[in-house]
Structure 1
Amino acid sequence: MNWLEALTAELSKDGVTQNKLARDLGISSSMLSQVIRGIYPGSTETLQARVEGRLMDYTVQCPVKGCIRRDECVDHQNKPFSSANRERVKMHRACRSGCPYSKLEPTVNAQRIDVRVSATDEAYNLDSQLAFIRRSAQGDTLKLNGLLEKELSRLASRYNQLLWSSKYARRSKS
């Protein structure tokens, strides 16, 4: 399913109006109407990213925040620089340093930040993982509990692997 089909499918749901969907996507209802009819004269790249992130749950691997929705990535790229927040500074640099998901032109004085794909390359970030799980649950308590159980099982498995490998690493040295 492409993003236009997902947009049309969302509009066909009960209780979803063009005005409500446009508001949720952060665009005008006239833009949404024109896009659906195929007559919108401007670029639909930002709308596509918002639909893919919010309606289709597409994610990207951000070099600063980890796994985030595609629409959040685009929103961070559009934020102006602010030195008042360390994370905003990191995001500003990452978006302008050759991140593969950024549509911005890399600046001359920014160093490329490599995107870490494997979770084993970095320390476990509890706050970002919990935020991701809460976003994925979309307010559904049962889904949240299921996702938390899955994450706890994954962590227990990784912890046991580490214990096992450290136990045998000590034996091989003796």
Structure 2
Amino acid sequence: MTLRDMRPFSEQITDFWQPVPDWVAALAGECDRTSQVKVSRRLGVSNALISGTLKRSYKGDLSRIEELVRGALLSECVECPVLGEITRDICLNNQSRDFVATSSVRTRVYRACRSGCPHSKLEES
């Protein structure tokens, strides 16, 4: 049985990250301030992904979690061709939404995300 590290996340990350990127420091700080579970819910990702990111053991796309953190926790914005200025996490969330024809705005956002928007991580269709 291993003992749980009782230090704040903002101290633990220095064991894994050198130097510590600003977005990782913000993620750890928010986990210290609230909880890892609350941060994972806020970002719409798993608790395991947050833990893996803080411990630098996550094998997936760190750029995605970085953008979520930069938007949700650091309030970094992008210029959406449909919605105007929005935070990066909202931009990513809009990109992952399914097409629905019930809202003209959502239809325009869906198409913009897939038609050459410079902030889109999707392939053009």
What is the TM-score when the length of structure 1 is the normalising length? 0.57
Partners of 2:99 and 2:41 in 1: how far apart?
Answer: 26
Please point out which of 78, 82, 97 is paired with 2:96: 78
More contact order relative to length (CA 8 Å, sep ≥ 6): 2
SS at match of 1:61: strand
Deviation for aligned residue 1:80? 1.1
Letter in 2 for 1:82: V
Deviation for aligned residue 1:106? 1.4
CA RMSD after TM alignment: 1.3
Partners of 1:45 and 1:63 in 2: how far apart?
Answer: 22
Partner of 1:4: 24
SS at match of 1:27: coil
Partner of 1:53: 71
Q: Percent identity?
A: 38
Letter in 2 for 1:86: S
Letter in 1 for 2:100: S
Partners of 1:93 and 1:28 in 2: how far apart?
Answer: 28
Structure 1 segments unaligned to the other structure (5+ residues): 108-174
| Between structures 1 and 2, the one with greater helix share | 1
Please point out which of 82, 98, 107 is paired with 1:64: 82
Letter in 2 for 1:73: C
Partners of 1:47 and 1:24 in 2: how far apart?
Answer: 12
Residue correspondence of structure 1 range 1-174 to structure 2 within 5 A: 2-13=22-33, 16-107=34-125
SS at match of 1:106: coil
Structure 2 segments unaligned to the other structure (5+ residues): 1-20
Partners of 1:83 and 1:12 in 2: how far apart?
Answer: 41
Deviation for aligned residue 1:85? 1.1
- Larger Rg, first or second structure (1 or 2): 1
Runs of 4+ in structure 1 over 6 Å off = none
Deviation for aligned residue 1:18? 1.1
